[in-house]
């Protein structure tokens, strides 16, 4: 999607005069790209007419940046489509709440339940998992295994076949034991969807969840809207999690599920592992859809900030797919040396949401400083080893002690490193910037 829209916009930039025809052609190109990215047909039509309304070419004074205005209009329309206008329920520490997961079989519910629990556990919540999937053989074992790995208490049964009964028992038990985030995993059978929706309705009625999360596989394509709507009709879905964003899916289904459920996307799943889970942030997501910002912008900043004599080495290392802690340290150093840090970081997908929430720039600066302090206590071998090969428990404890930071901070830093490494490694074809090269916009 990114590519085609960027091409559409770039094509337009070649036309010196942007008249109605060029504008129309451009919109058609964007339409095609959005459809290819699995955005629902009706939504694409809506987007098109909204943009036509917002952008009145004739009214634009001569000499204004028409291309910029159209680009901005597409960007903000897509952002609007992802913003249902109201935030979803968010759990509060110490206030018991029940969060129910729904979605078709294979969408990633069980995996995502554990990720969600783990994410909140690290934020100081006391989560617990209840397996109310009595349909799929092995469902309880799967949840048990995930939960045990993440050290999260769980409840379920091999004998009981009534999912409503298990859900109620599990919720009661964990409420009594003062858990503040009780997470209900449910079944998602195919082919018997009427029965499934009835089961979801009954579980929801019996447990009165504070939040129902619809889990959607990003690769389901055009089916996203109907699927999300079907769940919304049986239970009051309040949020969406889109999984498997690490695959080839283009993400357009996220727009459909927001429209169908009138609820926001709150997280995305980006892998099978428990920490491959990202807070959803509308603007970077749309930027990425449109191919604006993200890497081209980031690389420009690198070119501006990284001293010229270090550039080839940096890019060479990236091309060799070696992203070491030392490389990250050097980038932090570079970033700290430049103006508003958010300008650089906002271009990194997934990075900003975690490291640089808007309005928390100062805290983020402090965080980077903290990470650098921690890395100052690491050995050369540790800093230069790819993939944290050297890292183990005793080293982590030693580093924590040496830097005077809690172990948790060291783990946070390593997490951040893993995330960055993944993004950096996924870049390909990075060429050192030469004088006279045309920089991407
Ligand atoms: P459920 O049937 O809805 O409970 O789905 P599961 O949690 O059992 O997940 C189905 C499959 O998708 C499993 O193999 C998961 O490991 C995989 N999966 C779940 N989320 C993600 C994700 O974000 N990325 C990738 N690559 N795989 C995922
Ligand atoms: Mg499951």
Please give the structure tokens belonging to residue 153. Answer: 């208490």
Instruction: Read off the pTM.
Output: 0.67
Q: Determine the distance separating the centroid of ligand 2 and the alpha carbon of 139, expressed in angstroms.
A: 6
Give yes or no for residue 270 CB within 6 A of ligand 1: yes
Tens of pLDDT, residue by residue, the chain (441 residues):
445 555 555 555 544 455 666 677 667 767 776 777 778 888 888 888 888 887 776 655 555 556 566 667 888 888 888 999 888 999 999 999 999 999 999 999 999 999 999 999 999 999 999 999 988 888 999 999 999 999 999 999 999 999 999 999 999 999 999 999 999 999 987 667 888 999 999 999 999 999 999 999 988 878 889 999 999 999 999 999 999 987 766 788 899 999 999 999 999 998 999 989 999 988 777 876 665 433 334 444 444 544 555 555 555 665 565 678 887 787 676 556 544 444 444 334 334 444 555 566 677 778 888 999 999 999 988 998 877 877 888 899 999 999 999 888 898 888 888 877 776 665 434 444 444 443 333
**Candidates 100, 106, 108, 112: which one to mutate for ligand 1, based on the most atoms within 8 Å of Cβ?**
108
Q: Determine the distance separating the centroid of ligand 1 and the alpha carbon of 240, expressed in angstroms.
A: 15
Name the fold adopted by 97-285.
Rossmann fold (3.40.50)
The DSSP code sequence of 336-405 is: HTSS-HHHHHTTSTTHHHHH--TT-HHHHHHHHHHHHHHHHTS-HHHHH-GGGTT--HHHHHHHHHHHT-
**Candidates 105, 107, 111, 253: which one to mutate for ligand 1, based on the most atoms within 8 Å of Cβ?**
111
User: What sections of 218-339 are H helices per DSSP?
Assistant: 224-234, 253-261, 282-290, 294-305, 311-319, 325-336
Residue 237 and residue 212 in contact, taking contact as beta carbons nearer than 8 Å: yes
- Which tens digit of pLDDT belongs to each residue from 127-184? 999 999 988 888 999 999 999 999 999 999 999 999 999 999 999 999 999 999 999 9
| Domain spans, the chain | 2-82, 97-285, 293-426
Name the packing angle between helices 2-14 and 20-36 (round to 10°): 170
- Which tens digit of pLDDT belongs to each residue from 335-389? 565 444 444 443 343 344 445 555 666 777 788 889 999 999 999 889 988 778 7
DSSP, collapsed to helix, strand or coil, labels residue 274 as coil
Give yes or no for residue 114 CB within 6 A of ligand 1: no
Using CA atoms, how far apart are residues 115 and 397, in angstroms rounded to an integer?
Answer: 25
Q: Which of 356, 381, 363, 373 is nearest to 413 (CA)?
A: 373
If one counts every other C-beta atom within 10 angstroms of the C-beta of residue 295, the result is 19
Using CA atoms, how far apart are residues 84 and 280, in angstroms rounded to an integer?
Answer: 14
Give yes or no for residue 188 CB within 6 A of ligand 1: yes
Same fold across 97-285 and 293-426: no
Give yes or no for residue 109 CB within 6 A of ligand 1: yes
Using CA atoms, how far apart are residues 327 and 311, in angstroms rounded to an integer?
Answer: 12
**Candidates 129, 268, 272: which one to mutate for ligand 1, based on the most atoms within 8 Å of Cβ?**
272
Name the fold adopted by 293-426.
434 Repressor (Amino-terminal Domain) (1.10.260)
Q: Which CATH number does 2-82 carry?
A: 1.20.120.140
Give yes or no for residue 386 CB within 6 A of ligand 1: no
Using CA atoms, how far apart are residues 306 and 285, in angstroms rounded to an integer?
Answer: 26
């Amino acid at each position: 999607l990114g590519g085609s829209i960027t091409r559409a916009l770039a094509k337009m930039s070649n036309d010196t005069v942007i008249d109605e025809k060029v504008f129309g052609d451009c919109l058609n190109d964007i339409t095609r790209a959005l459809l290819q990215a699995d955005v629902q047909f009706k939504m694409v039509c809506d987007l098109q007419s909204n943009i036509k309304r917002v952008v009145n070419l004739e009214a634009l004074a001569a000499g204004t940046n028409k291309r910029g205005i159209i680009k901005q209009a597409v960007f903000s329309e897509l952002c609007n489509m992802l913003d249902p206008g109201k935030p979803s329920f968010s759990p509060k520490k110490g206030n018991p709440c029940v969060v129910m997961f729904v979605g078709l079989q294979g969408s990633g519910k069980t995996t995502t339940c554990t990720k969600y629990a783990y994410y909140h556990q690290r934020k100081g919540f006391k989560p617990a998992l209840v397996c109310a999937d009595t349909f799929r053989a092995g469902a309880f074992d799967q949840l048990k295994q995930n939960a045990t790995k993440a050290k999260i208490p769980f409840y379920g049964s091999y004998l009981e076949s009534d999912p409503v009964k298990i859900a109620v028992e599990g919720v009661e038990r964990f409420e009594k034991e003062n858990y503040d985030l009780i997470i209900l995993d449910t079944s998602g059978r195919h082919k018997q969807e009427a029965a499934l929706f009835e089961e979801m309705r009954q579980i929801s009625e019996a447990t009165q969840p504070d939040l129902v999360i619809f889990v959607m596989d990003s690769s389901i394509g055009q089916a996203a809207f109907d699927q999300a709507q079907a769940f919304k009709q049986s239970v009051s879905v309040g949020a969406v999690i889109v999984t498997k964003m690490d695959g080839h899916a283009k993400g357009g289904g996220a727009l459909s599920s927001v429209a169908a459920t009138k609820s926001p996307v709150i997280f995305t799943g980006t892998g099978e592992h428990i920490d491959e889970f990202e807070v959803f942030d509308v603007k970077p997501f749309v930027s990425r859809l449109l191919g604006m910002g993200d890497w081209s912008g980031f690389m420009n900043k690198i070119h501006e900030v990284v001293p010229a004599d270090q550039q080839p080495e940096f890019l060479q290392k990236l091309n060799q797919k070696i992203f070491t802690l030392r490389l990250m340290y050097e980038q932090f150093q570079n970033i700290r040396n430049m103006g508003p840090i958010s300008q650089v970081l906002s271009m990194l997908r997934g990075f900003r949401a975690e490291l640089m929430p808007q309005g928390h720039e100062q805290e983020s600066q402090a965080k980077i400083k903290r990470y650098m302090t921690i890395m100052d206590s690491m050995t050369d071998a540790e800093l230069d080893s790819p993939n944290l090969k050297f890292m183990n428990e005793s080293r982590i404890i030693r580093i924590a002690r040496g830097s005077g930071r809690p172990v948790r901070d060291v783990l946070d830093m390593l997490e951040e490193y893993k995330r960055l490494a993944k993004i950096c490694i996924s870049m390909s074809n990075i060429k050192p910037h030469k004088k006279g090269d045309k920089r991407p916009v």
